[in-house]
Every structure is written in structure tokens, then in C-alpha cells.
Amino acid sequence: MPEDADEVSQAGEADGNARGADQAGGRAADPESARPLPPADFGHFVSGVAVQTLMQLGEIENPIHGEKRVDLASAKYSIDLLNMLAEKTSGNLTQDEDRYLKAALHDLRMRYVEAVSGPPPEGEE
């Protein structure tokens, strides 16, 4: 098992999975066009799942096909994943991480209920 990030990076490079490798040909991406990645931390992980859930709820465009699509089953699954994460990490998060995860879950659950319920009747917004 790798002990630190350098060993993980070296292991990925040895396996041909270096960051920025081109999917089709295994070529490294142009370093000039490479975007810096955000830190691999709890908040960014939760944000990634939350954004994915918003796409599944049809709230934001999917950047791959450029349109909003609703997939309620996948949205529920993503919310369930975040809920499982909250349960498994209970008592092991910083106050900020715990607050952020709970707020994200609350917001996504409310949006899911709204999506499942359908639009409000006219004149009741």
C-alpha cells in the first residue's frame, strides 16, 4: 500500500495512468492547456457529488451533451451516497465539513422532493 501522495502518483505513472493521459492514445496532455485540479479534500468531494446530483435533477446543464436532463433514480442514488457518507463519517469530520455535508444533503433532498412532486399549480409559486 502506498504511504503518501508521491507513492500514489508514482504508482499511477507506472501503471500508465498518469494524470492528463489522453484516453485514446495514452499521450500526455499538452502542459500549456492543462487545468490545475482542486485539492483532493472532503469539501471538493462533496461538491462533486452535489453538482452531479444537480445535473441529474435537471437543475444545471450537463457539460458533456450541453443540455439539462432529469434522471430521478440517479439523483436519489447520489443523495443516498452522500447520506451513507454522512453516517459513516459521523463524529470524524471537522465542524465545517459536517455543516457543509448536512447543508448539501438538506438542499439536495428538498430539490429532489420538488422534482418528484412536479411543478406547483399555476399561481402557487
Q: Is the model's pLDDT at 69 over the cut of 90?
A: yes
pLDDT of residue 16: 43
Q: At what angle do helices 95-117 and 72-88 cross, to 10 degrees?
A: 160
Contacts of 60 (CB under 8 A, 6+ apart): 51, 54, 68
pLDDT of residue 34: 84
Could you read off the pLDDT of 78-121 as tens digits, one per residue?
999 999 999 999 999 999 999 999 999 999 999 999 999 987 66
Q: What percentage of residues in the chain have a pLDDT greater than 90?
A: 62
Between CA 121 and CA 73 the distance in angstroms is: 24
Q: Of 26, 21, 22, give the one whose Cα is nearest residue 9.
A: 21
pLDDT of residue 7: 41
pLDDT of residue 35: 87
Between CA 43 and CA 97 the distance in angstroms is: 7
Query: Residues 44-66: what's their mean pLDDT?
Result: 95
- Are 72 and 115 in contact, with CB atoms under 8 Å apart? yes
Per-domain residue ranges of the chain: 1-30, 42-117
